[in-house]
Amino acid sequence: MLLFVDFEASSLSKQSYPIEVGWVWEDGREEGHLIRPAPGWVEWDDSAQAIHGISRGLLARDGEPHDRVCDRVIAVFEGNDVYASAPSWDGHWLSMLLRAAGQPRHLLRLRSSEEAFMAKARQDGASETLATARVAAARALVGQAPASHRAIADARREWETWRAV
C-alpha cells in the first residue's frame, strides 16, 4: 500500500529532531503523532515553532514517547511504499527517530512523492510529456497554497495530489 508521510521538526539544522509525524494511506485513512523529545534532543529554533505552532510545552504535555511512536512507524511503514514531499529532510528525521529508539537508521526508506505521482500518471502508458502535464494539472487542482506545516495536513496534501493525478 502507498503512504504519504510528513514530519515536523525542532528546526532545519543538522541537529534537528522530529516533533510530529503524520501519514495518509492511499485509501485516505490518516494518523498522526506528536513526539515527546528523546533524551539528548535539545536543539530548538523559536522561528520553526512560529511556523508549525508546536511548542515544547505541548510536546511535554501531549507528545508520545519517541520509542512508542517509532514502534508504530515501523509497524505501519514496513512492507509499504512510503512517500514524502521532501524525502531528504523527512528521511533525516525518520533516521533520528529510529536511532533514538535503538533501531538501525536505514531500517526504513522514504521515496519522493513525485515518483508516486509520475507512476500514477503513466499507468495507461502515457508519454513522459503527458505524465508530466497530468501531474502539473493535479497540482493546479489541489492548489499551490503554502504548506500548513502540520504533519497530517501536509501528508494529506500529497495524497490529494496523488489522487488528483
**Predicted TM-score of the model (pTM):** 0.93
pLDDT in tens, 66-103: 999 999 999 999 999 999 999 999 999 999 999 999 99
Q: Cβ(90)–Cβ(46) under 8 Å?
A: no
Sign of the four-CA dihedral 121, 80, 95, 13 = positive
CA distance 130 to 126: 6
CA distance 107 to 39: 21
**143 falls in which pLDDT band (50, 70, 90)?**
confident
Hey, where are the domains in the chain?
1-165
Superfamily covering domain 1-165: Ribonuclease H-like superfamily/Ribonuclease H (3.30.420.10)
Work out the angle at residue 149's Cα, subtended by the Cα atoms of residues 144 and 154, and round it to the nearest 5 degrees: 60
